[in-house]
Amino acid sequence: MHEDTDDTVPHAVRDRLARQVVDVDEVEVALGDTVVRAGGGLEVAVAPEPREHPELPPVPAALRPRHRVRVGLEEPVELDRPVLIGRHPRPGRVPAGEPPRLVSVESADGGISSTHLEVREQGSVVVATDMRTLNGSEVMVPGSPVQSLQRGASVVVTPGTRIDLGEGVVVEVLGPVRAVPRAGGAA
């Protein structure tokens, strides 16, 4: 026993160390600011090396559930590629990646631009981008004040967000559809 630790190490700790099972001459255990030295041929148990778990391959993008958007009262559209929404939406002049899905909306007053809004999934988030419109859009995130989406601006949106393009046309962001197992265990 070391004299320099006699009054700073509780007797219960020293007694517990004396019962450890490992074969080393000296073990140092840090207890806060105190170092306990145990000697005299104590045996100390050493934890086994952690087993390596095999790497699982990433889920292919085609199998990953995608967010969706609903324009007005139409059926939801999956965000497996960018979606362009407007009176007569057109893709950009320079193609970049997969061609976008085009969704046309009515605009009796012309308040909705030809290509008004782009909605895309980037990784695990959904991004809405104003396509340099004159009127912009209003973004309504649940639990937050309404914010204006200015000309050319982008915003990350969550499921439940509603984007008002004007003239009563609203785009709603929906969460991914999860597969629901059927009775009998089949998916």
pLDDT digits (tens, 9 = 90+) for 22-80: 444 444 544 444 555 555 555 666 667 777 777 777 766 666 788 999 999 999 999 99
pTM: 0.63
Query: Cα separations (Å) of 124 from 18, 74, 129, 176, 179?
Result: 53, 24, 16, 10, 18
Residue ranges per structural domain of the chain: 3-38, 65-174
The fold for domain 65-174 equals Tumour Suppressor Smad4 (2.60.200)
Give me the chain's average pLDDT, please: 80
